[in-house]
Amino acid sequence: MDQNLKHRIQAQTAKVLHLVALFIAMCIICIPGLWVVLNSLRPTVEIMAKPPVWIPSELNLDNYRAMFGAVGEGGVPVLQYFTNSLIISVTSTLIAVLIGMAGGYAFARYQFKGKAAIFIGLMLTRAVPGVSLSLPLFIVMAKTGLIDTHIGLILVYIALNVPFTIWLIDGFFRQVPIDLAHAAEIDGCTRWQAFWKVEFPVARAGIASAGIFAFLTSWNEYALASQLTRSTFSKTMPVGLRDFTSEFTINWGGMCALAVLMIIPALILTFIVQKHLIAGLTFGGVKG
Amino acid sequence: MVRSRLPTWFVLLLPAIIILVAVVLIPLILSLYSSFTPYRLTRPETLYKWIGLFNYEKAVTSAHFWAAFGRTVLLLTIALNLEMLMGLGLALLVNKVTYGQRALRTIMMFPMMFSPVLVGFQFKFIFNDNVGLVNNALQSLGLTDVAIPWLVDGQLAFISILVAEMWSSTSVFAILILAGLFAVPRDPIEAAKVDGCTPWQSFRHITLPYIMPFIYIALAIRSLDVARAYDIVQIMTNGGPARRTELLWTLIGRTGYVDAKMGYANAMAYVSIFLAIAFTIYFFRKLNAARAELGMAR
């Protein structure tokens, strides 16, 4: 009986410890984010209060109202930023995934000379720090008149994401047995049809996960966007955060409101795609 | 398919090659050229003066440069290792959950949705010495009555940046390692249990080798994304106070844009690109070795 009891107590302790550890970990992950949400709903006086106000006395939408309001009242052209971000991120993600599919398919299905070299070369373009790229890119864009345009940023983000999408998608296509495609071709499909009807559906989960990584990268990118955009016509949301800072002070409430607006699309998208994300990574990761 | 005399693989790769040449390679060649000139943004004519390796000599003999270089390597090493360990821990915790795992996975990825620039502002506020969350909490709990200058003291500022960096990137490791844990086959673990292995033994000898490739993939991705730390550092301290958190990226960014010494900044950037390349190649070799152990190398 002693033996049994001891084991049961051990198992119970392990279970409780597991739950406690999980709870603490989730708190650490969530609190900074919840703090941002909470601050977006409080007046500045309370955010900056000393001694601190832990339990808010009132929550209101003043910061949001000010943000959507006129420029003179602390408003920023937030809808324009949102639209810019959306156009740039979605377009660049779609194109990067298409290019990544073509490139990944080439790596997964064809044998050719210098394959490893080209592959490493692609990866190294991602290794170039954004800072050292932004200086010359600015000059090139200025010469070609692409500064302050959507197209300029879209091109940059495609290039930023293509190595990564190729790498991931290559892994997913390797998971699809080549016999499957061959069988389809014997049944009378062209190679093109075999790809769309057989190989693409199988690799779809992986392609979705490559897409979400690409989207999050372009949605959140700041260093290059801050150099290549000048006016509200092309500024993205991360650059827009800067509108709330002046030389010595920061409008925390307004900034938090914009931050919340910025996270919502990413949160929704990730929640929808996250099932594919895990499945996709499991597929593509090891043998990629 | 496109009818052409070019091989199909080349046609398929062509879009990727074109965009990378246009957006990455051409600017890099331009910056490589400008690193041999005394180019200043304010005086465009300086772009046509050739001064050979002068900028490189200036960079490699500069104490500021090597201090920033060392600090960057230090930050990367500590951050990558801690993120990997914590990501592993988090993945193991979530993997053990049987109920509500999908919600937990979404929460786990929460920091990934935060733009690094946002993480910078967020932690700048949290570590604010006067009204920040950390100091307020410490004071409310009575642990200290003085305001701790988290972002002003050199050492503390480094730690604050490290915390921000880890908060934002641990979930990348967690999600990739969790994907790895899903791929571990059940049979060997069952067999080990029957043979009387302790949980630690079966983790060490069965689970860990299976997830090693995933760990190296995460390390490779993160080391490739090192440039992202620029946003966080630039916003939290901008290399200050008095250069005590100066990293390569803030140093290069400031030299290029604030001091307008483009040529010199590009020379420093080229020296530092070798760092990124070294990290990349190192993790790729590790990854291939780990795969070879599992018999999954190409």
Burial environment of residue A119 by CB neighbours within 10 A (0 to 12, 13 to 18, 19 or more): middle
Q: Taking CB atoms and an 8 Å limit, are A287 and B296 in contact across chains?
A: yes
| Mean pLDDT, residues B127-136 taken together | 77
Average pLDDT, stretch B240-252?
76
AA identity, residue A21: A
- The amino acid at A117: A
**Residue count (chain B):** 298
Question: Mutate which of B41, B113, B163, B226 to disrupt the A interface (most A C-beta within 10 Å)?
Answer: B113
- What is the pLDDT, as a whole number, of residue A283? 57
**Cα A13 to Cα B123: distance, rounded to the nearest angstrom:** 35
Count of all residues that appear for chain A in the document: 288
Measured in degrees and rounded to the nearest 5, phi and psi for residue A190 equal -80, 170
**B215 pLDDT above the threshold of 90:** no
Measured between alpha carbons, how far is A270 from A153 in angstroms, rounded to an integer? 23
Q: Choose between B220 and B90: higher pLDDT.
A: B90
* Minimal-distance CA residue of chain A relative to B231: A223
Query: What is the crossing angle of helices A252-287 and B101-108, to 10°?
Result: 110
User: Torsion over CA of A154, A160, A165 and A171, rounded to 10 degrees?
Assistant: 170
A12 has a chain B CB within 8 A of its CB = no
Predicted pLDDT of residue B185: 79
Alpha helices (H) in chain B, listed in sequence order: 8-20, 26-34, 54-60, 63-96, 101-108, 116-126, 133-140, 154-183, 187-194, 199-202, 208-224, 229-236, 248-253, 262-293
Higher model confidence: residue B148 or residue B201?
Answer: B201
Residue B40 has phi, psi (to 5 degrees) of -125, 140
Which residue in chain A has the smallest CA separation from B185? A282
Nearest to B23 among A155, A267, A281 (CB): A155
- For B210, residues 6+ apart whose C-beta sits below 8 A from its C-beta are B180, B183, B184, B185, B294
* Residue A92 binned pLDDT confidence (cut-offs 50, 70, 90): very high
pLDDT beyond 90 at B153? no
Element (H, E) at A38: helix A2-40
Contact between chains at B115 and A124 (C-beta distance less than 8 A):
no
pLDDT band at A109, cuts 50/70/90? confident
Within 10 A of A106 (CB to CB), how many other CB atoms are there? Answer: 24
Q: How would residue A96 be classed by pLDDT, with cut points 50, 70 and 90?
A: very high
Cβ–Cβ gap B19/A159 under 8 Å: yes
Residue B298 has pLDDT above 50, yes or no: no
Cβ burial of A97 (10 Å; 0-12, 13-18, 19+) is buried
Q: What is the pLDDT of residue A70?
A: 59
What number is the average pLDDT over the span B158-186? 86
Helical (H) or strand (E) element with A82: helix A78-109
| For A163, nearest residue in chain B (alpha carbons) | B16
- Per CB-CB distance under 8 Å, the chain B contacts of A241 are 115, 117-118, 121
What's the whole-model pTM score?
0.84
Query: How many contacts (CB atoms, under 8 Å) link A and B?
Result: 258
- Give the mean pLDDT of B118-125: 86
Q: Shortest Cα distance from A138 to chain B (angstroms)?
A: 9
**Which residues of B are less than 8 Å from A21 in CB distance?**
93
Q: Do B279 and A267 touch (CB under 8 A)?
A: no
Residues of B within 8 A of A52 (CB-CB) are 131, 136, 139-140
Question: At residue A8, does pLDDT exceed 70?
Answer: yes
SS3 B43: strand
Cα separation, A94 vs B72, whole angstroms: 34
Amino acid at residue number B250: T
Distance, CA of A128 to CA of A125 (rounded, Å)? 6
Contact A274 B97 (CB under 8 A): no
Distance from C-alpha of B251 to C-alpha of B274, rounded to nearest angstrom = 16
Per-residue pLDDT of B55-81, as tens digits, reads 888 888 888 888 888 888 888 889 889
- State the Cα–Cα distance between residues B232 and B81, nearest whole angstrom: 19
Residue A286 pLDDT: 47
Higher pLDDT, A282 or B255: B255
What mean pLDDT is reported for chain B?
Answer: 81
* Interchain CB contact of A273 with B (< 8 Å): no
Q: What would the mean pLDDT of B185-210 be, rounded to a whole number?
A: 83
Mean pLDDT, range B35-64, rounded to an integer: 78
Other C-beta atoms within 10 Å of A110: how many? Answer: 14
The tokens describing B71, both together, are 């600090």
Backbone φ, ψ for residue B43 (5° rounding): -130, 85
| Residue A51 clears pLDDT 70, i.e. is over it | no
Contacts of A257-260 with C-beta under 8 Å, sequence gap 24+, read A257/A40, A257/A63, A257/A64, A257/A66, A257/A67, A258/A67, A258/A76, A258/A78, A259/A36, A259/A40, A259/B118, A259/B121, A259/B122, A260/A36, A260/A37, A260/A40
What is the per-residue pLDDT for A258? 86
Tell me, yes or no, if A143 comes closer than 8 A to chain B by beta carbon. no
What backbone phi and psi angles, to 5 degrees, belong to A146? Answer: -95, -5
pLDDT at A95 over 90: yes
Q: What is the pLDDT of residue B228?
A: 57
Q: What is the mean predicted confidence (pLDDT) over A101-117?
A: 85
Comparing alpha-carbon positions, the chain B residue that sits nearest to A190 is B1
In eight-state DSSP terms, residue B227 is G
B200 contact residues in A (CB cutoff 8 A): none
- Name the residue facing B214 among A122, A259, A285 (closest C-beta): A285
pLDDT above 90 covers a percentage of chain B that reads 4
pLDDT of res. A288: 38
| pLDDT tens, position by position, A224-268 | 888 888 777 888 888 888 877 776 677 788 888 888 888 888 888
Q: Determine contact, residues B110/A33, Cβ cutoff 8 Å.
A: yes
Strand partners, B43: B40
Q: Give the closest of B102, B270, B280 to A124, CB-based.
A: B280
User: How much is the pLDDT for A287?
Assistant: 46
- B256-297 tens-digit pLDDT: 777 777 788 888 888 877 777 777 778 777 777 777 776 554
pLDDT at position B90 is 92
Q: What is the pLDDT of residue A39?
A: 82
A29 touches chain B (CB under 8 A): yes
Taking residues A177-184, what's their average pLDDT? 78
Share of chain A above pLDDT 90, in %: 9
CA distances from B31 to B26, B147, B242 (A): 9, 45, 28
- pLDDT above 70 (res A72): no
Q: Is A254 on the interface with B (CB under 8 A)?
A: no
Residue B26's pLDDT is what? Answer: 86
Conformational region of residue B196, where left means phi above 0, alpha means psi within -120 to 50, and beta covers everything else: left
| Chain-chain contact of B31 with A47 (C-beta, under 8 angstroms) | no
A10 pLDDT more than 50: yes
Query: Could you say which of A22, A135, A156 has the minimum Cβ distance to residue B97?
Result: A22
Q: How confident is the model at residue A87 (pLDDT cuts 50, 70, 90)?
A: very high
The H or E element containing residue A88 is helix A78-109
Please say if the pLDDT value at position A284 is more than 60.
no
Q: Which residue has the higher pLDDT, B88 or B211?
A: B88
> Are A132 and B31 contacting, i.e. CB atoms less than 8 angstroms apart?
yes
Nearest-by-Cβ selection for A135 from B182, B262, B276: B262
pLDDT of residue B297: 44
**Using the 8-state DSSP alphabet, how is residue B147 labeled?**
P
Distance CA B272, CA A130 (A): 12
pLDDT winner (highest mean) among A19-23, A120-124, B47-51: A19-23
C-alpha atoms less than 13 angstroms from C-alpha of B170 in its C-beta half-sphere: 22
Closest-approach residue (CA) in chain A for B251: A131
Instruction: Render pLDDT for A19-47 as a digit per residue (tens, 0 to 9).
Output: 999 999 888 888 888 888 888 887 776 77
In the prediction, which pLDDT does A50 show?
63
* B-chain residues near A267 (CB < 8 A): 110, 113
Partner B, chain A 98-127, Cβ-Cβ below 8 Å: 98-100, 102-103, 105-106, 109-110, 112, 118, 120, 122-127
